[in-house]
Amino acid sequence: MNTEVNTSNSKGIATIEFHHPKGNSLPRVLLDKLSNAINAAGKNSEVKVILLKSRGKTFCAGASFDELLAIENVNQANSFFVGFGSLIEAIKDCPKFIVAEVQGKAVGGGVGIIAACDYAIASKDASIKLSELSLGFGPFVIATAVIRKIGVSAFSTLTIDSTNWKSAEWCLSKGLFNDLVNDGEELNSKSFELCNSLSDYSPDAMKAIKNLLWDGYTDLADKHLKRAKLSGQLSQSEITQQILAKFRN
């Protein structure tokens, strides 16, 4: 399926928009495109701030179910889950603030993307869930980014109550969302207003603040590799394959 990641630059703001026909789900190729786009914007001296958004009614449906169903062995599974870690590391290591514009639902890896970003503005339609446990594994790779943002208790709630959606108001109360608006028009306006203000601020000061926000997370890449391996192993376990077989059929 056609996947898109488009970057546009205007007045110091780099807007990175991603799209997948199935709810903006994330196959490995799209994860890599997003990582590359963020790395490129981070190195562009004309870019002061990055706005990350998706196209359509859903912000992100998480891991591509088609790709998950097609995985045949642990090595393939490990490679797939590593892509999520690489994207979170790209967001973390980018020297520019990244603002997430969340217009709709987010699942699994989509929640990880929001948590990794430096600021998230969402509409009231932007509910979330972590559904991995119901499929036989867990949100291991995104765990550190999510816990960093909302804490262990809220992460535990999302992980264990894996089939129920949490509202945008819940996300705001836990700190996943930094601002909440009523609709798409207000979302676009609020995101632009913030990014426009940030584009006038000191790049060095913003970089220093971002480093402060991620202080103590120097071992993130190692954690991602270990947790991707765990995710890969569990995704190929007998019980998970039985669950996935229901979807294949």
The string of pLDDT tens digits covering residues 60-76 is 999 998 888 888 899 99
The string of pLDDT tens digits covering residues 146-201 is 999 999 999 999 999 999 999 999 999 999 999 999 999 999 999 999 999 999 99
pLDDT of residue 213: 96
Tokens (6 digits) for 30: 């799209």
pLDDT of residue 66: 87
The string of pLDDT tens digits covering residues 105-152 is 999 999 999 999 999 999 999 999 999 999 999 999 999 999 999 999
Q: Phi-psi region for residue 118, left (φ > 0), alpha (ψ -120 to 50) or beta?
A: alpha
pLDDT of residue 122: 98
Distances (CA, A) of 153 to 6, 59, 81, 112, 118: 36, 24, 24, 16, 21
- Which structural domains are found in the chain, ordered by start? 4-203 (3.90.226.10)
